């Protein structure tokens, strides 16, 4: 099963994240960016519908949103009951990298669960790691 991705955020956050992904893993054609509330765009319905209509029978879609409970995630939740659509809110770059580079033979739900665990481990107050001065 092939995977496609949507990164949907408030403002241009998705664009910046995609720039980082391009530097680290190279340019990819299976990522759609949705930058809500920019350039007169008040929602994400049109972009989301277009991406879902283009989803083939042999493809899964993983949608990343910036904030759980935010307006973007709330709009995406309407798609949560669709087969082959997975939604992850509150992403970070480590999570995106792990999921996007994962083996397509591993079940998507397993990959997402493991990536969330690993991404949480990346959230560290670094000052606590520094030995006493």
The enclosing domain of 49 has a CATH number of 3.40.50.510
Nearest to 93 by CA among 114, 60, 64: 64
Q: How far apart are CA 46 and CA 50, in angstroms?
A: 6
CA neighbor of 108 nearest in space, from 17, 4, 18: 4
Q: What's the structural domain count of the chain?
A: 1
Give the domain extent around 50: 2-129
Q: pLDDT category, 82, cuts 50, 70, 90?
A: confident
DSSP state letter for 129: G
Q: Tell me the whole-structure pTM to 2 decimals.
A: 0.92
Q: Look at residue 73 and tell me whether its pLDDT is greater than 70.
A: yes
Of 120, 73, 52, 114, nearest in space to 92 by CA: 120
Segment 67-94 shows an average pLDDT of 91
Nearest Cα neighbor of 33 from 51, 60, 10, 7 is 7
């Amino acid at each position: 099963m092939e995977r496609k991705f949507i990164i949907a955020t408030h403002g241009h956050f998705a664009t910046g994240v995609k720039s980082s992904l391009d530097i680290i893993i190279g340019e990819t054609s299976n990522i759609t960016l949705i930058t809500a509330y920019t350039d007169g765009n008040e929602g994400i319905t049109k972009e989301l519908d277009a991406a879902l209509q283009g989803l083939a029978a042999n493809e899964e879609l993983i949608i990343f949103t910036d904030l759980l409970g935010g307006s973007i995630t709330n709009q995406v939740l309407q798609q949560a009951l669709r087969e082959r659509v997975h939604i992850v809110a509150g992403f970070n770059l480590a999570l995106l990298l792990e999921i996007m580079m994962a083996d397509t033979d591993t079940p998507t739900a397993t990959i997402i669960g493991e990536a969330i665990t690993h991404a949480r481990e990346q959230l560290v107050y670094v000052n606590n790691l520094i030995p006493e001065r």
